[in-house]
Structure 1
Amino acid sequence: MNTSPLPSTTHLVLIPSYNPGRTVIDTVRAARAQWNPVWVVVDGSTDGSPAWLQEMAAQDPGLRVIVQPVNRGKGAAVLEGIAQARAAGFTHALTMDSDGQHPAGLISAFMQASQARPDAMVLGRPVFGPEAPALRVNGRKVSNAWANLETLWAGIGDSLYGFRVYPIAPLMQVMRGQRFMRRFDFDPEAVVRLCWAGVRPLNLDAPVRYLDASEGGVSHFRYLRDNTLLTWMHTRLFLGFVLRLPLLAARRVRGRH
């Protein structure tokens, strides 16, 4: 018996994926149980997952797999996915990681929130379990503080958590307007630049899991490399914030009246 949800013509789940191992199979199955359609953008993976996913898609009309021949980064994978989604008529995309950290069970709730507020971006606000590395949990507080400063405290609950629903058109516009946001810097820069563009954040709590190696957990985070990337990102965003400060302040005043 086919229990797949009815297909949406406006909202899709978009999963950028790079070498997640077989965890991606469980992630995609969980997402498909909640939503239709689900698209996976394979970002140059070399772990066998392109073949596994294509085999799944051949038996599931609600699943589409886009294979990029080389690894170009999470942001680049998302941009490829939303460009093809917009061409197919979709207006919103829920992004989630392929490594099992994000709560597929909340997909429907996030989509419903987006459908009620299509002008907003629906941001997951992570609820961490005891297994979460303290260095990662505390380190993100710095990025969150910078993101809120750079947007004049527009209400970003968390700048790094990638479980969120984006309106596709403004996201494509801000990404194609500059050459950044293509790798690990995608998630925080996307919310800051969308706030600058007038897209308001809507925050919903969502648990995050950190799987260990025995559970199939895979992390591509590199402390020095990725924190250097985030530092450079916030440096240029702060400079952009200073230039936009009069506009942001005026918009905030108008919003109060």
Structure 2
Amino acid sequence: MPERSRTHLLLIPSFNTGPKLVETVKGALEEWSPVWVVVDGSTDDSEKAVEALLPEHEGDLRILKLPVNSGKGSAVLQGTTEAVAQGYTHVLTMDADGQHASGSIRKFMEASQSKPETVVLGLPQFDSSAPLIRLRGRRIANWWARLETMSDLGDCLFGFRVYPAAPLIQVMQKTRWARRFDFDPEVAMRLIWRGHPPLNVPAPCRYFTKAEGGVSHFNYYRDNVLLTWMFTRLFLGFLLRLPKLLGRKLRSN
């Protein structure tokens, strides 16, 4: 079992991810401690198999349960708030559906430990399982994210990343958005605005089919509308911050 960290916590938000959840948790526990799972109002009893792991992993594994589904951002906020209350300074977020490789956990945590002021962002390395339409949409989103932060942000949508915990809470408390599919891009952009530079670290990403147990709650229409609204909202913030962002860009060159 890995030595328990006193500063860096692994956080897995989950909503109805079926058997993939316990597979993800087992893989995470092989690489890091502590691991917390935030069950975001799941109705599929997927957390039962994780609960069965608790006696064997006392102190290394914790489950937080939210009564109703409120979105990934809300689940991460709840978990991060509790983590800060217990003295943790950073959280690595990892999807529960198996897309993120547990073998990357240590590399990301070490990158954060060496540069704690950064937001360690996963730079996804897709294989042939990635849907082409998702990749095309991703390119558009990343173009806007880089424009509005004037940074070298690698990927704004990939949820495998390490956040400075207290700043994450602060940026989320200042907006009523960033609670669902807009969570990953909006908080990354807002943290960069605050002066936390992105540190892009490559990580493999795999999309599972339904036959392989893959679960996706992505809705092409709803979530793309939400993203479009997010970039529109944040564009005004970008314009207001433009002089500061330009100055930061010049100093870094």
TM-score (normalizing by structure 1): 0.96
1:47 match: 44
CA contact (8 A) 1:120 1:201 kept: yes
Structure 2's unaligned 5+ residue stretches are none
| 2: CA distance, partners of 1:57 / 1:123 | 30
Number of the residue aligned with 2:98:
100
The aligned residue for residue 218 of structure 1 is: 215
Aligned counterpart, 1:71: 69
Superposed CA deviations along residues 49-95 of structure 1, whole A, max 9, x for unmatched, are: 13222222243121100000100000000000100000000001110
Query: Does residue 239 in structure 1 map to residue 226 in structure 2?
Result: no
Pair 1:28-2:25 in alignment: yes
Per-residue displacement from partner, 1:106-127 (whole Å, max 9, x unpaired)?
A: 1001111110001111111011
- Aligned to 2:39, what secondary structure does the other structure show? strand
Counterpart of 1:245 in structure 2: which amino acid? L
Identity %: 56
Q: Considering only aligned residues, what root-mean-square deviation do their CA atoms show, in Å?
A: 0.9
Partner-residue secondary structure (3-state), 1:205: strand
The residue aligned with 2:119 is 121
Q: Which moved more, 1:48-57 or 1:208-217?
A: 48-57
Runs of 4+ in 1 over 6 A off after TM superposition: none
Farther-moved stretch of structure 1 (171-180 vs 46-55) = 46-55
Shift of 1:177: 1.1
Give the structure 1 partner of residue 53 of structure 2: 56
Q: How far is the alpha carbon of 1:12 from its aligned partner?
A: 1.0
- 1:86 aligned partner: 84
Paired position in structure 2 for 1:133? 131
Q: CA deviation at 1:249?
A: 1.2
Deviations 1:215-249 (A, max 9, x none): 10000000000000000000001111011111111
The one of 176, 187, 190 aligned to 1:190: 187
Cα deviation 1:120-158 (Å, max 9, x = unaligned): 111110111011100011111111000000001x11000
Contact 1:50 1:67 (8 Å CA) reproduced = no
Q: What is the SS of the residue equivalent to 1:56?
A: coil
SS state of the match for residue 235, structure 2? helix
* 8 A Cα contact 1:12 1:94, kept in partner: yes
> Paired residues, what number?
252
* Maintained 8 Å contact 2:126/2:205: yes
Q: Which residue does the alignment assign to 1:160?
A: 157
Provide the rounded CA distance (Å) in 1 between the counterparts of 2:56 and 2:185: 36
Q: Is the 8 A contact 2:10 2:94 kept in 1?
A: yes
Letter in 2 for 1:209: R
Residues in 1 aligned to 2:143 and 2:167: alpha-carbon distance in whole angstroms: 24
Distance 1:147 1:161 in 2: 13
Say if 2:198 is the partner of 1:201: yes
Q: Which SS does the other structure have where 1:149 is aligned?
A: helix
Q: Deviations over 1:23-61 (max 9, x none)?
A: 111100000000000000000000111322222224312
